[in-house]
Amino acid sequence: MSHRAGFVSIIGKPNAGKSTLMNHLVGEKMSIITPKAQTTRHRILGIVNTDDYQIVFSDTPGIIKPHYALHESMMHQVEGSIVDADLILLVTDINEKHDEDDVVRKLQGSLAPLAVLINKIDQSDAEVVKQKVEYWQQKLNPKAVFAISALHEHNLKAIMDFILEHLPEHPPYYEKDALTDRNDRFFASEMIRAQVFKQYKKEIPYSTEVIVTAFVEGETLHRISAEIIVERDSQKNILIGKNGEMLKIVGKYARLDMEEFFQRKVFLEMFVKVIPDWRSKKNYLKKFGYE
């Protein structure tokens, strides 16, 4: 029996539900999920392995107009993932009011089979679903259009069937026991970042970066040190909170997530550091892995 393997790019606007979809398809907490848009800044690859196939999912950053050097770097990643895809899933929110021409333009250069996934149908009705399906069939003439709810796992099996049907014959690209090509430091930083998004609401998260500065693995305990980088002293004060209370909360929940993920006790220490205007400075972006 021949083996199938290929790269499946999940693209779409920020907050369309890509990460939720990815996590259900991969079956592990791979990608950071938050109620805020635009948090997946890296192309995280989640890998689904069986004896007969290997699906490599690439979760691109939401497609946005580049405002900072940071965004430009994210956009290059989106373009890269469209070019090297064997299969593209365009995830679109059924209630999306924005024009999606930028997404459509990016897709025009691609020869890969395309499926459009109309997500969040649990927040809509049959008539609107029907209109949207027709709209996308006309607009992109994709191989398939699926009406789904990633959150409620509705119609996800159909997507897996579609992927397997269009996956090329190819030996595996990664070792079969590799869940992802991102290392443990990356997951540790994402878990801290997820808590920053959860605990601070609006003003803080977008000027925040998390760097894991030390990761010492032990049989029973991992020791992890991290820096949370912000742009201004006022943000540092908010992050730390009165008597360090806020930072303690972030640390506690991030540590619990890590312990569940690594299946070890975790000792976590976090420091908050101010680097004015880091998002516009190319050398910092490089250091943080965005180049």
> Binding site for GTP: what residues are annotated?
12-19, 59-63, 119-122
Question: Which residue matches tokens 């998004």?
Answer: 197
Written as six digits, the tokens of 7 are: 């790269």
Written as six digits, the tokens of 273 are: 């550091």
DSSP 276: T
Q: How many residues does the chain have?
A: 291
Whether 198 contacts 251, CB under 8 Å: no
What is the chain's Cα-based Rg?
20
Q: How many CB atoms lie within 10 A of CB 124?
A: 17
Residue positions forming the annotated binding site = 12-19, 59-63, 119-122
